[in-house]
Amino acid sequence: MRNIIKNINIKADRTLILSKLNNNRAYVLLVFIMILMSICAPNFLGTGNIVPMIKTALLPIMAGIGFTYVMIGGNFDLSIGAVINVGAAVAMGEFNRFFAAFGGEAAGTKAVVLGWIVAILIALAAGVLVGLINGLLVAKGRIHSFIVTIGMMTALTGFVYTYCKGNTISADNTLFVNILERPFIKVPYLEVFTIRFLVTVIIVIFFEVLLLKAKWGRDLLMVGSNEEAAWHAGINTQRKIIWTFIFSGFTSAFGGVMFAISMNAAVPNYGERGINPLMIVLASTIIGGTELTGGRGSVVHTTVAVLTIQAIFNGLIIMGMGFDAQVLAAGVLLAVVVLYESYSLYKQNLKKGAKAALLKEVPELKARRKSAC
């Protein structure tokens, strides 16, 4: 009974519902797109589509974690696409080098395991280093993050081409490649559970908890919302900003590493042809409700938004549409979300400061005006 009364009260407040919906719009949009696509695209909900769809989303999900953090801090990290390539190329290249150094095929599994451990650590360290440099330049150097990270993107692209010598790098041993991508159980839908999937989920959960449940995250949200206030409150704002960039470098590089291993290939120009992961991540972060100016956001919401965009892409492919239609659809969704944001902001500002007591008089005023006319 109490619940019913509560519900009626909520129903009375339309704006409250709307704002709740908007705060969880990532879920709303995902459900909407899933329903739409399952109607329009045959076999959209089949395991043959859902499993590959989620697997494709794993890379932008990883990069989206760090990107969301950076945006919550009030900055942008446009270098994530390049960091993904660095992570991928360095992991593959260093594996081949250390695999040989540890004895190659002759040494058996031991060389494979040691080789991957060292290679992955180096690749992740590279991502962290890139993030640290970005963070230092933005926080300490006071250079706009757009400039810093675009510069970083260009430099890293050059680095990867040099590192790969323009070629695709594949691992000389494919043992681990198979393990990372092997499903635990071969049952429809549950095939999605692979080591790579689980690692991604764990990292998403870790960063979501850090952001929303831990004191560290609350402080970061405060920094993003009002840096000055956070500074006066004794929060080390520069360090917080640097950490967001380090996390971004780390998650992007990690995503790149896992992507390369699962494909058994690292190319220097992934994302230059086709859809750039940066574009997907940027759109997802905004669609997921992270505020452009910082101070509000959620890693899980970004993840859900990545899945939404991936669902659009896959649905359109099933319907026989090409790359052009995919980009257009993602762009339209982003535009709708941004337009809604600005519209609600406009609405909010219009009423900002209005006195409740005076608003009660408005119907009477309107009635009086009508009778006068």
- Binding flag, residue 222, other proteins (CB under 8 A): yes
* Cβ distance to other proteins smaller for residue 112 or 337: 337
Instruction: Quote the least distance from Cβ 217 to other proteins, whole Å.
Output: 8
* Cβ distance to other proteins smaller for residue 273 or 351: 351
- Binding flag, residue 289, other proteins (CB under 8 A): no
* Cβ distance to other proteins smaller for residue 165 or 369: 369
Residue pair 118/98 in contact (Cβ under 8 Å)? The answer is yes
- Binding letters toward other proteins, positions 227-266, x by CB under 8 A: -xxxxxxxx-------------------------------
* Cβ distance to other proteins smaller for residue 181 or 219: 219
Instruction: Quote the least distance from Cβ 139 to other proteins, whole Å.
Output: 16
CA distances from 153 to 4, 170, 357 (A): 54, 23, 54
Instruction: Quote the least distance from Cβ 286 to other proteins, whole Å.
Output: 16
Q: Which amino acid is at 339?
A: L
Instruction: Quote the least distance from Cβ 292 to other proteins, whole Å.
Output: 11
DSSP element (H, E) containing 30: helix 25-40
What radius of gyration do the chain's Cα atoms show? 24
- Out of 28, 107, 296, 318, which residue is the one contacting other proteins (CB under 8 A)? 296
Residue pair 95/116 in contact (Cβ under 8 Å)? The answer is yes
- Binding flag, residue 73, other proteins (CB under 8 A): no
DSSP element (H, E) containing 132: helix 109-135
Residue pair 303/61 in contact (Cβ under 8 Å)? The answer is yes
What is d(CA 149, CA 138) in angstroms, rounded to the nearest whole number?
A: 9
**Binding window for other proteins (CB under 8 A); candidates: 222-230, 249-257, 300-308, 324-332:** 222-230
Q: Which amino acid is at 345?
A: L
**Binding window for other proteins (CB under 8 A); candidates: 36-44, 144-152, 276-284, 288-296:** 288-296
Residue pair 254/128 in contact (Cβ under 8 Å)? The answer is no
The region, left, alpha or beta by phi > 0 then psi within -120 to 50, assigned to residue 289 is left
- Binding flag, residue 359, other proteins (CB under 8 A): yes
Beta bridge partners of 266: 169
Closest CA to 189 of 54, 353, 22, 354: 54
- Binding flag, residue 365, other proteins (CB under 8 A): yes
**Binding window for other proteins (CB under 8 A); candidates: 159-167, 192-200, 305-313, 349-357:** 349-357
* Cβ distance to other proteins smaller for residue 178 or 293: 293
Closest CA to 195 of 332, 338, 55: 55
Contact residues toward other proteins (CB under 8 A) are 213-216, 218-219, 221-222, 225-226, 228-235, 291, 295-296, 350-355, 357-359, 361-362, 365, 369
